């Protein structure tokens, strides 16, 4: 008998979006000269008109942050922390609304916004709130050299793949350490950042401590080149490179969380059922729009056929479609531009002979969609094995020995994450020690936690977010 | 003499994550309505009490044949499941209805009787009219590592079953880990089980989603390797409609829609039937129900 | 009368004392000093890369002992250096003690909200280029070597152009210490030639910029951005320096039988 799930769309009744959103500067929404619609990538319908910050707007926001800095830094850690705790609580209270808006604006499945993005965003604020009055324990400083101090005004530019979560990763440590901030959300996913602005108002965060300036890349470029004391960027390696070059010769702190081409290594002694599930989570989570996606599957030759067969069978059960449906596993591609970038790289893979297999499933007529895909004969030299696709596309390459696995995993300019699947603990730790990557998941993949540092080696960027390590980039030692 | 055992690798945390994810499938509307009927059609409606009497068994059998007279579209349950002494009563009660008679032979639930006794029990139950036998494996042999004994006993019971279908109960909670659940599943299938079944319902824990998933994965591997199709029976602990629908989800997404038939999937339970009926009534009327709307047996 | 034997200064690369492949030299402070070239930079970085894995994999205890041995070696030849040699020796001693403390200070076990053992540990960033520009004291030269080494990195050093002799002498001390070949590489020559070559080398992971030259620093940053190198400039505290020379790696492992 054929028994299938009926459509189970999350109700959007609870969501009240305004028709238009201005810039959030100095604690209030202000008008901009230009507006652009933000659309739902699953339907291509506009959701709201969003202010597009000009360079002058960005400068105004930086000024507001500058004006707010002394007062904010002068607050005791405990009081500062209380504001951050409030933000965490308000996010929890508005979790359902935020989840729906995240899915509407970005195309990710509601189950991910609901169970991962929004709870983790709240958890980040909650975690860093508690650091505010404990900074001296989190950033060890020799007693003779005084205390840790905020850097001042930080400029933060975030991507479209985890909009609210990335805002939380940026703002929570900045606020806890006593900095004021100007945040530039991604142009395709500004909505939850603007709802966060409402939350900041509701939390009565002092005016100007956080300013949010939606806009396109030009607003981000203006912000990182502006009169800020520190820049934090999450996004592509190409843009990260530009930012580092733009800041050349200036004493501006910089942390970069950039791209990746992370290896997911499956050894023959792995728990294969769970490994297959981990491969699926590694690459199809959030449509593969994940900087640490396990986009290169390295599988030991002795089990390669078995793993690929099982993976291919498992891919057939992925439910692709309406992101608001609670049973959807893979949602919409975030934008037309990203869809075309994925399409171009996949076409290159086909041209190179990397052996494309793509799930055949019915996709909605409108919106941006890409069915989960697999390159089963990817050679390490192929473009699809080297360049970040940032979509639901996995390459499969085999290896014979663990030394070869390590060599292949490290053979990339990136160094963000890796997965290791083996039932042998000693091997898992031996291989982890040899991988040049900032996160290593053993027998799991794509787990995140505010207490655990995240960030890359090599061209995946520098600096860490999460944990005590995430405090360090936001402070300096008084008297330096 | 113990065997040299190489256990498969099953990662408990990974299993927990997968069942948590599948546990969040939203079953609404038609899917729920059909799912409830499907679950009812897969029930092995069970009574396994020392206090079972012919009267009780006849009432249960009537309920299995017609779960609720209010809903003529509703299927019968798949089987009634009783102790060997009650087989003939059950057989008479369901005669001509298509409902099967299953019996827990083999020294249920401990299995701690001599093999000869267990085999005789099986032969008698089959002779009395049981067309399905639910046996327990020798956990003592399994836990001391003697796979050969476990296997030969299953083979012997299978032989004693004749034409009756054999369901092999692993009593998973006593095996101690998912590695063992998977290993024992393979052992049972290799020895000839027609179904593998999680639990007796008499131990501390029954069919958890994790155990069901691991056994389903074992079935998939076995079928791929041998081509012989084996069924699955979660039992003990499936006491709510949500849990029963959860079983359907696990089976659908692990083995596929072909397994969503009473020929290959059974759910061993007693109390779940009324919750399925309550939920079904709710889907039909839009009103939340009450216990009194349905007979207890 | 005895004729003194004049000393020939050489670069220290891969544990050996070598002439510049260019065959050039400059006269600095009365001595002929090899003028390292871009190709010497290339060779030194390649050798450093080859040595990086082995050095990083040694136990912290062993690396600490080796750095302490460097202090002993320098002490025994203190007379060949200037007045600040004592501070330089103490710097080696200080960092010798860091190798096995760094994890306790920068590492964490993360109480994640899921059944995993999660831990974050400092790992070496790799090949570190030390750019000293025109001048540097012996203690700061030693710190710019000892700190990266303590954190498990290997170094290629552009010695101060105006005063490379203490650095080249230090190479002779390190050459007879227990520091493995290729872990420390010292190049003398012109800053204008060596600094851009090192800053632009794609196989360098991090740069300690102590050139104190705004124009040069801007150039260094610009080159560094091509491959996202970490550039350290202002860290004056040992721990800040060590933190900037390490990558935090977080490893997750499930807990469940």
List, in sequence order, the alpha helices (H) in A353-401: 383-386
CB of A425 within 8 Å of a chain B CB? The answer is: no
- Residues in chain C with CB shorter than 8 Å from the CB of A149 are none
List, in sequence order, the alpha helices (H) in chain B: 12-22, 29-41, 54-65, 87-94, 115-128, 139-143, 147-161, 178-190, 209-226, 241-254, 272-285
pLDDT tens, B186-226? 999 999 999 999 999 999 999 999 999 999 999 999 999 99
- The pLDDT-based confidence of A248 (bands split at 50, 70, 90) is very high
Residue C26 pairs with which residues in a beta bridge?
Answer: C33
Q: What is the pLDDT of residue B4?
A: 77
Active site residues of A: 257, 291
Q: What is the pLDDT of residue B47?
A: 96
| C 41-80 → A contacts, CB under 8 A | 57
Q: Is the pLDDT of residue B1 over 60?
A: no
- The pLDDT-based confidence of B3 (bands split at 50, 70, 90) is low
Contacts of A163 (CB under 8 A, 6+ apart): A102, A105, A106, A117, A185, A186, A189, A190, A191, A192, A193
pLDDT tens, C195-219? 999 999 999 999 999 999 999 999 9
Mean pLDDT for the stretch of residues A246-273: 96
- Asked if B296 and B277 count as a contact pair (C-beta separation under 8 A), the reply is no
Q: What is the pLDDT of residue A263?
A: 98
- The pLDDT-based confidence of C117 (bands split at 50, 70, 90) is very high
CB of B26 within 8 Å of a chain A CB? The answer is: yes
Q: Is the pLDDT of residue C238 over 70?
A: yes
Annotated active-site residue in B44, B131, B134, B275: B134
CB of B295 within 8 Å of a chain C CB? The answer is: no
Contacts of C99 (CB under 8 A, 6+ apart): C60, C61, C63, C64, C67, C150, C152
Interface-testing mutation among A126, A443, A449, with chain C (most C C-beta atoms within 10 A): A449
Q: Is the pLDDT of residue A144 over 80?
A: no
CB of A271 within 8 Å of a chain C CB? The answer is: no
Q: How far apart are CA A152 and CA A135, in angstroms?
A: 16
Which residue in chain A is spatially nearest to C256 when comparing CA positions?
A443
Q: Is the pLDDT of residue B20 over 90?
A: yes
Q: What is the pLDDT of residue B130?
A: 98
Q: What is the pLDDT of residue A345?
A: 97
Look over chain C and give the mean of its residue pLDDT values, rounded to a whole number: 96
- Residues in chain C with CB shorter than 8 Å from the CB of A141 are 237
**Cβ separation B13–C257 shorter than 8 A:** no
Q: What is the pLDDT of residue A1?
A: 64
Mean pLDDT for the stretch of residues A141-152: 83
Q: What is the pLDDT of residue A480?
A: 45
Q: Is the pLDDT of residue B2 over 70?
A: no
Q: What is the pLDDT of residue A375?
A: 98
Q: Is the pLDDT of residue A141 over 80?
A: no
Assess whether the previous peptide bond of A476 is cis (omega < 30° from 0): no
Q: What is the pLDDT of residue A22?
A: 98
Q: Is the pLDDT of residue B250 over 70?
A: yes
- Asked if A36 and A49 count as a contact pair (C-beta separation under 8 A), the reply is yes
Residue A291 vs residues A337, A346, B105: alpha-carbon distances, Å: 17, 18, 57
For a pLDDT cut of 70, what percent of chain C falls above it? Answer: 99
- Residues in chain A with CB shorter than 8 Å from the CB of C250 are 438-440, 452-454, 466-467
Separation of first and last alpha carbons in chain A: 73
pLDDT tens, A52-84? 999 999 999 999 999 999 999 999 999 999 999
**Catalytic annotation present for B197:** yes
Look over chain A and give the mean of its residue pLDDT values, rounded to a whole number: 96
Q: What is the pLDDT of residue A2?
A: 82
Q: What's the whole-model pTM score?
A: 0.95
Q: What is the pLDDT of residue A369?
A: 98
CB of B11 within 8 Å of a chain C CB? The answer is: yes
Mean pLDDT for the stretch of residues A162-191: 98
Q: How far apart are CA A145 and CA A136, in angstroms?
A: 12
How many A/B residue pairs have CB atoms within 8 Å?
66
Q: What is the pLDDT of residue A479?
A: 60
pLDDT tens, A77-110? 999 999 999 999 999 999 999 999 999 999 999 9
**Cβ separation A5–B217 shorter than 8 A:** no
Mean pLDDT for the stretch of residues C129-141: 96
**Cβ separation A327–B13 shorter than 8 A:** no
- Residues in chain A with CB shorter than 8 Å from the CB of C230 are 462
Concatenate the DSSP letters of all residues of chain C into one string: --PPPPPPP-EEETTEEE--TT--EEEETTEEEE---HHHHHHHHHHHHHHHHHHHHS-HHHHHHHHHHHHHHHHHTGGGS-TTHHHHHHHHHHHHTTTTTHHHHH-EEE--SSSEEEEEEEEE--EEEEE-TT---HHHHHHHHHHHHHTT-EEEEE--TT--HHHHHHHHHHHTSSPPTTSEEEE-S-HHHHHHHHHH-TT--EEEE----HHHHHHHHHHHHHTT-EEE-S--SHHHHHHHTEEEEEEEEE---
- Residues in chain A with CB shorter than 8 Å from the CB of B32 are 6
Concatenate the DSSP letters of all residues of A442-480 into one string: ES--S---TTS-B--EETTEES-BSTGGGTGGGEEETT-
Q: How far apart are CA C146 and CA C90, in angstroms?
A: 11
**Cβ separation A443–B27 shorter than 8 A:** no
Closest among A65, A193, A95, A80 to A129, alpha carbons compared: A80
> Of the given ranges (A87-101, A141-155, A188-202, B141-155), which has the lowest mean pLDDT?
A141-155
pLDDT tens, C29-80? 989 999 999 999 999 999 999 999 999 999 999 999 999 999 999 999 999 9
Q: What is the pLDDT of residue A105?
A: 98
Q: Which chains touch A (3 or more CB pairs under 8 A)?
A: B, C
Chain C closest-CA separation from residue A141 CA (Å): 8
């Amino acid at each position: 008998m054929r028994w299938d799930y009926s459509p189970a769309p999350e109700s959007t009744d609870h969501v009240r979006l305004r028709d238009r959103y201005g810039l959030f500067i100095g604690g209030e929404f202000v008008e901009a000269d230009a507006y652009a619609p933000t659309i739902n990538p699953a339907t291509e319908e506009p959701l709201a008109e969003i202010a597009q910050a000009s360079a002058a707007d960005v400068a105004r926001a930086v000024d507001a942050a500058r004006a707010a800095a002394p007062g904010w830094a002068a607050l005791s850690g405990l009081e500062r922390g209380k504001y951050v705790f409030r933000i965490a609580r308000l996010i929890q209270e508005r979790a359902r609304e935020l989840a729906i808006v995240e899915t509407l604006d970005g195309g990710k499945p509601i189950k991910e916004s609901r169970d991962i993005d929004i709870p983790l965003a709240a958890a980040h604020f909650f975690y860093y709130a508690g650091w505010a009055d404990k900074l001296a324990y989190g950033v060890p400083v020799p007693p003779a050299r005084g205390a840790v101090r905020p850097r001042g005004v930080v400029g933060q530019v975030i991507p479209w793949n985890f909009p609210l979560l990335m805002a939380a990763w940026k703002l929570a440590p900045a606020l806890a350490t006593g900095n004021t901030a100007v945040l530039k959300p991604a142009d395709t996913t500004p909505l939850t950042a603007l709802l966060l602005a409402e939350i900041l108002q509701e939390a009565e965060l002092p005016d100007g401590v956080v300013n949010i300036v939606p806009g396109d890349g030009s607003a981000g470029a203006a912000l990182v080149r502006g009169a800020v004391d520190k820049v934090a960027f999450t996004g592509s390696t190409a843009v990260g490179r530009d930012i580092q070059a733009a800041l050349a010769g200036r004493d501006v702190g910089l942390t970069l969380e950039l791209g990746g081409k992370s290896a997911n290594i499956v050894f023959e002694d792995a728990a294969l059922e769970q490994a297959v599930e981990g491969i699926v989570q590694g690459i199809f989570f959030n449509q593969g729009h994940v900087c640490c996606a396990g986009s290169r599957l390295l599988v030991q030759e002795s089990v390669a056929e078995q793993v690929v067969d099982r993976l291919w069978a498992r891919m057939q059960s992925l439910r692709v479609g309406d992101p608001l449906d609670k049973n959807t596993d893979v949602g919409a591609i975030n934008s037309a531009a990203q869809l075309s970038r994925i399409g171009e790289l996949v076409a290159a893979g086909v041209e190179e002979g990397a052996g494309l297999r793509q799930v055949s499933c019915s996709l909605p007529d409108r919106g941006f969609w890409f069915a989960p895909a697999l390159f089963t004969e990817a050679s390490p030299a192929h473009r699809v094995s080297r360049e970040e696709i940032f979509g639901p596309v996995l390459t499969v390459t085999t290896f014979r020995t663990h030394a070869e696995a390590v060599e292949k995993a490290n053979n990339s300019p990136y160094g963000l994450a890796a997965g290791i699947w083996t039932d042998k603990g000693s091997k898992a730790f031996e291989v982890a020690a040899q991988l040049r990557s900032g996160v290593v998941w053993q027998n799991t993949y794509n787990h995140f936690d505010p207490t655990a540092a995240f960030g890359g080696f090599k061209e995946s960027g520098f600096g860490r977010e999460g944990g005590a390590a995430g405090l360090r980039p936001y402070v300096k030692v008084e008297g330096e | 003499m113990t065997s040299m055992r190489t256990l498969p690798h099953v990662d408990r945390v990974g299993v927990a994550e997968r069942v948590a994810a599948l546990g969040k499938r939203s079953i609404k509307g038609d899917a729920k309505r059909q799912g409830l009927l499907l679950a009812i059609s897969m029930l092995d409606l069970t009574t396994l009490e020392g206090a079972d009497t012919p009267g009780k068994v006849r009432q249960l059998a009537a309920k299995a044949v017609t779960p609720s007279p209010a809903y003529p579209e509703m299927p019968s349950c798949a089987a009634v499941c009783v102790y060997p002494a009650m087989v003939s009563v059950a057989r008479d009660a369901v005669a001509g209805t298509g409902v099967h008679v299953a019996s827990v032979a083999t020294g249920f639930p401990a299995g701690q009787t001599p093999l000869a006794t267990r085999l005789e029990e099986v032969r008698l139950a089959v002779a009395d009219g049981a067309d399905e036998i639910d046996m327990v494996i020798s956990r003592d042999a399994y836990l001391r590592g003697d796979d050969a004994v476990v296997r030969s006993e299953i083979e012997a019971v299978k032989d004693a079953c004749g034409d009756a279908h054999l369901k092999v109960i692993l009593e998973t909670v006593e095996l101690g880990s998912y590695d063992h659940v998977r290993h024992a599943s393979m052992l049972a299938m290799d020895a000839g089980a027609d179904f593998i079944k999680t639990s007796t319902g008499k131990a501390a824990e029954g069919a958890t989603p994790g155990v069901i998933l691991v056994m389903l994965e074992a079935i998939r591997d076995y079928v791929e390797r041998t081509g012989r199709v084996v069924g699955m029976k979660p039992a003990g602990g499936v006491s709510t409609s949500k849990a029963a629908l959860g079983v359907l989800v696990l089976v659908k997404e692990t083995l596929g829609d072909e397994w969503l038939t009473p020929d290959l999937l059974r759910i061993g339970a007693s109390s779940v039937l009324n919750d399925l009926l309550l939920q079904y009534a709710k889907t039909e009327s839009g009103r939340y129900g009450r216990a009194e709307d349905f007979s207890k047996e | 009368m005895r004729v003194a034997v004049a000393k020939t200064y050489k670069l220290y690369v891969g544990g050996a004392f070598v002439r510049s492949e260019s065959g050039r030299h400059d006269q600095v402070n009365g001595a002929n000093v090899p003028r390292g070239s871009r190709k010497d930079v290339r060779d030194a970085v390649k050798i450093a890369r080859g040595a990086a894995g082995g050095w990083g994999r040694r136990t912290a205890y062993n690396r600490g002992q080796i750095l302490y041995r460097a202090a002993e070696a320098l002490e025994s030849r203190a007379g060949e250096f200037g007045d600040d040699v004592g501070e330089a020796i103490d710097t080696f001693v200080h960092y010798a003690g860091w190798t096995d403390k760094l994890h306790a200070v920068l590492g964490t076990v993360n109480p994640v909200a899921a059944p995993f053992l999660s831990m974050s540990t400092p790992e070496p960033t790799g090949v570190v280029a030390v750019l000293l520009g025109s001048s540097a004291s012996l203690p700061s030269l030693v710190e710019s070597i000892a700190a990266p080494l303590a954190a498990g990195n290997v170094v290629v050093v552009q010695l101060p152009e105006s005063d490379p002799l203490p650095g080249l002498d230090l190479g002779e001390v390190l050459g007879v210490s227990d520091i493995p070949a290729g872990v420390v590489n010292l190049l003398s020559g012109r800053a204008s030639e060596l600094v851009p070559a090192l800053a632009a080398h794609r196989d360098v992971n991090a740069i300690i910029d102590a050139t104190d030259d705004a124009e040069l620093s801007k150039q260094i940053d610009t080159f560094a951005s091509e491959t996202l190198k970490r550039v350290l400039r202002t860290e004056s505290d040992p721990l800040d320096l060590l933190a900037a020379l390490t990558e935090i790696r977080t490893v997750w492992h499930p807990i469940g039988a």
